[in-house]
Structure formats: structure tokens, C-alpha cells
């Protein structure tokens, strides 16, 4: 199958329910804007509970046939979807950049990254094994089989408008679940385009349904899924506060939950690190997507012996970053997502400076470029008392904390309720083993800044949530185990 779309043909403004493009039942719409300029791109459906319910109805009708399809039939559909994503990677990448603001190269990179999960789970679809349990009692045969959990509600954030939803839909569809989804209000267009391609790839009507809603109307719309006993699972990526709300509100129907939540990643540079490699790793991990990723280092701990040297090395590189709209091919940092994001970054930097941090580079808004730009920033002399040490800044700000001993660094790194990613640089093999074991995080980068892969388990501990996406473990979140006990076999 081959079909390429122009960008304008990928832009959809209605919900996709039961294989049809339909407006919100209320007829309401809300504007999606370009974060680089604040200009309106298009108005999409502003859905409410009636639309959420219609999506669930369609997913319930479609479930038995999709569950009973052969795994290789589901895999074939997913492979076609993957191929369409790759064929349309340039235009999908442009759409991501348009609504989210990341540079074009990163937008296209996200398409390849998201598509890699679809290919991975297409292959995994045919490898969902159960167990024959060794005989424990005469005359009985005990087996464990895995079944799809049922209807899955997927709710995603704005920072990776394609990858976050692709890595939820792909495993769900692979094992035979049907899906109702709601992308973030800032970036619904990429998800709608993905659904268009899924339909083109042969995903049957009702198997994948997507509604869009403004922040205000998302709450009652999603509440309908939380209360509906036909929805068996919620898979959510977003902030810890909203994750906790969803866990509380879904308790009434005791849903299975996957929660990929916020982080506060530490990045530790020991005296024995290769400083050049550490600076390269930090640039990759911290400044991707303008610092708006959940695995971005939020706190950089540098050992005293190399503190000034590392600060100089980093500052030179950060000061050279090109800040520009995504449409500029040379852009390395685009606009932040919205005014709220810019305000939070400014507030974190101002608070740090008022408590003694030194600005080595950046430290200001770039209003000359547009409403949502912030200069890539390095702060020295960061301390635990600063707001940016306990909350995600979610922007291009690297605060440098000083430490003396390994114990001190690990204690500081773990001194947070969050536990998603962590990073450290050292060339001492015994230290690498010790520190990797003691860091409280779901993901540890050791002398490496780029960690994500479809073949690896992605997820957190502590208040960064639970569940894993990607890898052979990623299917488990969408499966339940059924134990079959057959008697009378003596």
C-alpha cells in the first residue's frame, strides 16, 4: 500500500468515531494555534461526554471481531499503518512542527521514532504466548492464556504529539483491544492525521476512535470514560497531578492503569567523567524539544573538581544554539508550547537568580522572535532551595548544582518524589555499578544521553507512574491473564 498526502490533506478538524469523521455533538469547536506566531491553524471539534460515549459505543461494537482476528491479520494492518507513516514522514513531521513548534528535523525524527513502535508491536502481535503449567494435581490440566483487556482509553500530552499516542495505540491494537483516545488540546492535529492513516491502512471501523476537546471540555468527556464500566483500561501520559486525578476518579470502576507521568531527572557528572562526552550527552538530553520532554535532565550535579571546567564547556555549546521557528532549517530550539510554559520557565529562572544562581548564558525571553521563545540558559550555583530543583521546568534551562562526594550526589538525585529518568557520567566501572543500582529511577543513562528505543522498557517509579511502554514488556499493560483449569482427565 502506498499513499502520500499533502500537508493540507492531513489536517482534519472532526472527531473520528466508528470509521467516520463527525463534528462534536454540540457543534462546538476550539482553535489550534501555531506556537511560533500565536496564529490560528484550524478549529477542531470541542467534544463532550456525548462524543466520548459515542466513541465507547463504537469501540464496544468493534471489540469482538477485532479480538478474534488472527494475530497475523492484526499485525498486517499495523505494518501497513507503519509504512504509511514512513511514506508520509515529511508531511507528518511538518505537521508536528506546525502545531508543537519543534524544529523540522526533530518533527521528522519523531515520526520515525513513533513509527518504530508500530513496527515493533506489529511483530510482537504474533508472539503473545501463554503457559502450560507443569502438573500439580492428577487429572487436571492447568494453562495460563493472555487476553486483551478490552476497550482502552488513551490520553496523551502535547510534547510528542505523534510518538506518545502511537506507542499506546500500537500495543493495544496488536493484542486485540479497541481504543478510544483524546490527544492534548494544544496538539490534536497530528493524532487526527495518524488516525486518517490508520483508517487507510485497514483498521476496521470502531477499532480506533479519537475525539478532541478543549482543556475545559476534556474533563467531563474523559470523566465519561472513567465512569464507564465498558472501558477497562486507561493509558495516560502527562503530568503527575492529572495522573493522580485519573487514578482516583477511575477507582469507582477499578480500571487497569498505565501512568507515564512527570519527571525531575538528575544528571550527574563525576570527577572521573569524560567531560566532553558528558557535555554532548547533556546537550542531547536537555535541549531536545527545547527542554520539553519528561526525560530531560532537570538538575545537573557536577563534582567540585570539574565544576568550573564543565560549566565553561557547556556554556559555550548552549550559547551557540540557534533559536528560531521550526520553518528555519537551521533551528535547534523552537518556541515553547504556550504562554503558560513561558511564564513557568521565567518564574523558575527568576526564583533561582533571586536565591543566588548566576546566569552563565540566556536567562531571558526572546520576545523579538515571537510570543513563546526563551533563550537556552545555563545557571551556576543552583541549590536545593530553588523551585527548579523540585519541579520540572520543562524548558531550555540547565541549572548546575555542585557536590563533593558520591553519596551526596546520589542522596540529592533521589531526593524527589519522581523517578523517571536519571543520567550519570563516570569512567570508573565499580562506581558505575554502584550508582546504577542506587539511583531510584525507571530509566538510567550511563555515559549516554539518548535513551529511548522501541526495544527498551520506558517508564518510571515513585510518582513518575507505573507501566512500561515499548519492548517485550510493553504488551503486558494491554493484556490480562486467564487461568484455565480443565478437570476430569484421569
User: Footprint of ligand NAD on this chain (CB under 6 A)?
Assistant: 155-159, 164, 182, 184-185, 215, 218-219, 222, 237-239, 242, 245, 260-263, 294, 392, 420, 460
Residue 156 in contact with residue 164, Cβ under 8 Å?
A: yes
The β-bridge partners of 302 are: 269, 402
Question: By C-beta, is 88 or 240 nearer to ligand NAD?
Answer: 240
Catalytic residues, which ones? 260
Question: By C-beta, is 215 or 384 nearer to ligand NAD?
Answer: 215
**Closest approach of Cβ 263 to ligand NAD, in Å?**
5
List of residues 6+ apart from 127 with CB closer than 8 A: 472
Tell me how far CA of residue 137 lies from CA of 134, 482, 488, 489, 490, in angstroms.
9, 19, 11, 11, 10
Question: By C-beta, is 176 or 399 nearer to ligand NAD?
Answer: 399
Question: By C-beta, is 219 or 353 nearer to ligand NAD?
Answer: 219
* Spatial separation of the C-alpha atoms in residues 454 and 374, rounded to whole Å: 31
**Closest approach of Cβ 219 to ligand NAD, in Å?**
4
DSSP calls for 375-423: --EEEES--TTSHHHHS---SSEEEEEEE-SHHHHHHHHH-SSEESEEE
122: number of CA atoms within 13 Å, CB side? Answer: 19
Question: By C-beta, is 46 or 392 nearer to ligand NAD?
Answer: 392
* Spatial separation of the C-alpha atoms in residues 420 and 418, rounded to whole Å: 6
Q: Which residue is nearest to ligand NAD (CB)?
A: 238
**Closest approach of Cβ 362 to ligand NAD, in Å?**
21
- Give one word for 136, left, alpha or beta, with left for phi > 0 and alpha for psi -120 to 50: alpha
Q: What is the DSSP-derived secondary structure letter of residue 332?
A: S
Question: By C-beta, is 270 or 478 nearer to ligand NAD?
Answer: 478
List of residues 6+ apart from 145 with CB closer than 8 A: 130, 481, 482, 484
**Closest approach of Cβ 143 to ligand NAD, in Å?**
34
Residue ranges of the alpha helices (H) in 69-156? 71-87, 89-100, 104-124
- Give one word for 362, left, alpha or beta, with left for phi > 0 and alpha for psi -120 to 50: left
Helix, strand, or coil here: 462?
Answer: strand
**Closest approach of Cβ 425 to ligand NAD, in Å?**
23
**Closest approach of Cβ 378 to ligand NAD, in Å?**
21
Amino acid at each position: 500500500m502506498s499513499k502520500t498526502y499533502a500537508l493540507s490533506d492531513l489536517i482534519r478538524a472532526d472527531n473520528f468515531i466508528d470509521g467516520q469523521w463527525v463534528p462534536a455533538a454540540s457543534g462546538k469547536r476550539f482553535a489550534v494555534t501555531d506556537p511560533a506566531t500565536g496564529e490560528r491553524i484550524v478549529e477542531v471539534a470541542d467534544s463532550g461526554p456525548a462524543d466520548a460515549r459515542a466513541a465507547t459505543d463504537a469501540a464496544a461494537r468493534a471489540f469482538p471481531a477485532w479480538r478474534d482476528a488472527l494475530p497475523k491479520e492484526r499485525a498486517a494492518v499495523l505494518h501497513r499503518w507503519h509504512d504509511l507513516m514512513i511514506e508520509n514522514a515529511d508531511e507528518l513531521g511538518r505537521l508536528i512542527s506546525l502545531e508543537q513548534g519543534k524544529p523540522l528535523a526533530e518533527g521528522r525524527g519523531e515520526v520515525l521514532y513513533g513509527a518504530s513502535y508500530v513496527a515493533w508491536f506489529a511483530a510482537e502481535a504474533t508472539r503473545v504466548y501463554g503457559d502450560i503449567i507443569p502438573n500439580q494435581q492428577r487429572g487436571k490440566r492447568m494453562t495460563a492464556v493472555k487476553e486483551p483487556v478490552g476497550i482502552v482509553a488513551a490520553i496523551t500530552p502535547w510534547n510528542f504529539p505523534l510518538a506518545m499516542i502511537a506507542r499506546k495505540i500500537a500495543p493495544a491494537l496488536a493484542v486485540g483491544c479497541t481504543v478510544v483516545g483524546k490527544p492534548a488540546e494544544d496538539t490534536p492535529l497530528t493524532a487526527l492525521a495518524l488516525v486518517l492513516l490508520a483508517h487507510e491502512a485497514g483498521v476496521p471501523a470502531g477499532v480506533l476512535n479519537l475525539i478532541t476537546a478543549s482543556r475545559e471540555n476534556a474533563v467531563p468527556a474523559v470523566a465519561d470514560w472513567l465512569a464507564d464500566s465498558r472501558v477497562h483500561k486507561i493509558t495516560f501520559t502527562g503530568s503527575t497531578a492529572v495522573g493522580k486525578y485519573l487514578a482516583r476518579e477511575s477507582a469507582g470502576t477499578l480500571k487497569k492503569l498505565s501512568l507515564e507521568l512527570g519527571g525531575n531527572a538528575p544528571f550527574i557528572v563525576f570527577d572521573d567523567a569524560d567531560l566532553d562526552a558528558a557535555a554532548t550527552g547533556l546537550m542531547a538530553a536537555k535541549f531536545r524539544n527545547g527542554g520539553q520532554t519528561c526525560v530531560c535532565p532537570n538538575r545537573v550535579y557536577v563534582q567540585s573538581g570539574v565544576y568550573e571546567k564543565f560549566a565553561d564547556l557547556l556554556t559555550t555549546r548552549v550559547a551557540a544554539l540557534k533559536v528560531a521557528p521550526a520553518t528555519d532549517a537551521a533551528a535547534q530550539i523552537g518556541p515553547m508550547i504556550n504562554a503558560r510554559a513561558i511564564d513557568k520557565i521565567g518564574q523558575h529562572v527568576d526564583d533561582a537568580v533571586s536565591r543566588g544562581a548566576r546566569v552563565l548564558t540566556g536567562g531571558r525571553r526572546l520576545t523579538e522572535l515571537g510570543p513563546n521563545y526563551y533563550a537556552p540558559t545555563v545557571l551556576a550555583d543552583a541549590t536545593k532551595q530553588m523551585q527548579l530543583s523540585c519541579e520540572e521546568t520543562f524548558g531550555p534551562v540547565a541549572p548546575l548544582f555542585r557536590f563533593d562526594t558520591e553519596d551526596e550526589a546520589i542522596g540529592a538525585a533521589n531526593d524527589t518524589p519522581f523517578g523517571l529518568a536519571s543520567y550519570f557520567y563516570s569512567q570508573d566501572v565499580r562506581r558505575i555499578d554502584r550508582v546504577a543500582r542506587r539511583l531510584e529511577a525507571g530509566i538510567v543513562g550511563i555515559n549516554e544521553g539518548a535513551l529511548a528505543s522501541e526495544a527498551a522498557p520506558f517508564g518510571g517509579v515513585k510518582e513518575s507512574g507505573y507501566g512500561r511502554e515499548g519492548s517485550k514488556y510493553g504488551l503486558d499493560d494491554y493484556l490480562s491473564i486467564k487461568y484455565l483449569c480443565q478437570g476430569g482427565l484421569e
